Structure 1
């Protein structure tokens, strides 16, 4: 299966350029779409899911024109948006059965078998008769995956699925996504770098509506080998001085002091040590490159 996006652009009436000539090819694997909040990820996901129109561009899914043949796309698509509505007083069992009917699964015996299998697959069988309003955040997301799997879709889109989940719920959800990704194509849209690093053999980085990088995380990491340097900075003044002199791509607090990470071909100065590159470095380097390019213009 292949999803081919070509020249996709979208500007909202308020003037926000959500997508700027985006072109991507997504094959049969778990694909990570990484970017900060407001990057345009949700706009892209909603467009692929036939929920809104772009200003220009095309999307094809295995020969199906996504923008023109919406009903055909919906028959093969599962979608978990950032926020999805449910009837809070309904049980998971009843709600999933109701959604199955809406998905066209009208045979009662077949529907019962499918619904029970999905509740087991998402580890919700023990809670099937509980009202959805009583579910934790992680359980609601797993229910969201169950409804997305109705109809045996070939393409599943999940938009910021682990935001707000505690570490244990996040791990359970990622394990579920990983098992699903062996059989269908899953597009994981997120701002959480770890989600992409743990799950996705291919990825893209998008920010301010622009595609900054597409490829395998391993290849992006290999390109940074020997070029990431770290130093703990004692004062804010020293931090600002280094930021003005060097390519500081990120900083975070360690015991109240700033630990900075710098991109450089060789040791950038006294006190710096070479460190292994991580996907977070790839992410922040691409964002900083985009910011620098805009500042230069």
Structure 2
């Protein structure tokens, strides 16, 4: 279990990245949703001991993470948003190097570990291929392999599916789901669908604050009977925004479709629709605006 209490961070330029964050994150997949600039990466980097907060605490199974960074790093794996590799090194050689850095010094043990990890992330067949030739999805799976070295209790992945094609995205998310059966996995993303598909618990963060924390299904259920859809002319949008709570606007088949949050039918032409997590997400962002 990961406990975060009253975590705050303000940068030197005055940007308040985190404001009194409180979260309890159990074993399994945990989704952290938020737009770019919401504070997600700051929170991930702080949990990963790569930067210090101004105040607050983080404990992992009783370990004070912020005051025992060396011990904490032994128990966590981290895949940042921008994960760099040495392009001329092979996947196997690079994992061997990471294993040494993590303290796996015995040659036989390290060889067995690297072999097992490459098979787990489905990269065994390309183990001798240079990392510079890997696709985006292959590189992300390699990133998870290095994060798993040392049997961590906590895995942190920051925007891992951005830029992946649908097949690679599904393969990567399935891998995360398997890992999440036995450890805490924090999936930080702005892609709502990733959280809907994978995470039994989640939080929505916006402007450095937790706007919502709980189970996605319960959050969706709270909007039942309150989400309405209508096809509108673009010219209508400005006036609608003044009198209604617009959750989202999108083009569907060349026509503008809006989702509106309302306890009752907001007007002619609207139809009630089942809510989804995207409606919950946009509702929280609108409330924070």
Q: CA deviation at 1:15?
A: 1.2
**1:196 matched residue in structure 2:** 195
Q: CA deviation at 1:204?
A: 0.1
Q: CA deviation at 1:247?
A: 1.1
Q: Deviations over 1:219-275 (max 9, x none)?
A: 001100111000000x22212221111111111011222100011111111100011
Q: How many residues align?
A: 289
Q: CA deviation at 1:62?
A: 1.1
Q: Deviations over 1:131-170 (max 9, x none)?
A: 0000000000000000000011111000000011111110
Local SS of the residue matching 1:98: helix
- Do the aligned partners of 2:27 and 2:181 also contact (CA within 8 Å) in 1? no
Gapped regions of structure 1 (runs ≥ 5): 292-297
Gapped regions of structure 2 (runs ≥ 5): none
Q: Deviations over 1:40-92 (max 9, x none)?
A: 00000000000000011111111111110001101110110111222110000
> Residues of 2 paired with 1:146 and 1:254: CA distance?
39
**What TM-score do the two structures reach when normalised by structure 1?**
0.96
**1:294 matched residue in structure 2:** none
Map 1:1-297; keep pairs closer than 5 Å.
Answer: 2-233=1-232, 235-291=233-289
> Residues of 1 paired with 2:234 and 2:216: CA distance?
33
Local SS of the residue matching 1:198: helix
> Residues of 1 paired with 2:260 and 2:124: CA distance?
49
Local SS of the residue matching 1:177: helix
Local SS of the residue matching 2:141: helix
**RMSD of aligned residue pairs (Cα, Å):** 0.7
**What TM-score do the two structures reach when normalised by structure 2?**
0.99
Moved over 4 A (4+): none
Q: CA deviation at 1:95?
A: 0.3
> Residues of 1 paired with 2:262 and 2:50: CA distance?
43
- Do the aligned partners of 2:228 and 2:260 also contact (CA within 8 Å) in 1? yes
Q: CA deviation at 1:4?
A: 0.7
